[in-house]
Amino acid sequence: MKQTISSPPLVGSHSGAAPIMVAAMVIIGISDNAVPLMAEQIGIWQFYLMRTVIALPLVWVMMQAGLGSLRPGRMWAVALRGMLVAVSMVFYFSAVALMPLAQALAGLFTSPILIVLISVLVLKQRIGPIRVTAVALGFLGVLLVLQPDPANFDWLILLPVCGGLFYALGSMATGLMCREESTVSMLFAMLLAQALIGAVALGGLALWPLPVAEGADGFVTRGWVWPIWPVSHWVLLQGVASVLGVFLITKAYQLGEASYVAVFEYSVIIVGPAFAWMVFGQSLEPMQIAGIALIVLAGGTIALRGG
More confident residue, 261 or 295: 295
For residue 141, pLDDT over 90 is answered with: no
Which of 41, 149, 163 lies closest to 96 in space, CA to CA?
163
Residues constituting the chain: 307
What is the overall mean pLDDT for the chain? 83
129 burial via Cβ count (<10 Å: 0-12, 13-18, 19+): exposed
- pLDDT over threshold 60, residue 301: yes
Better-predicted residue by pLDDT, 107 or 199: 199
Q: Looking at the predicted structure, is the pLDDT value of residue 11 above 50?
A: no
307: three-class secondary structure by DSSP:
coil
At 306 the pLDDT is 58
Q: Is 282 left (phi over 0), alpha (psi -120 to 50) or beta?
A: beta
Q: Break the chain into its structural domains and give their ranges.
A: 17-304
Question: pLDDT tens digits for 98-132?
Answer: 888 888 888 888 887 887 888 788 877 777 888 78
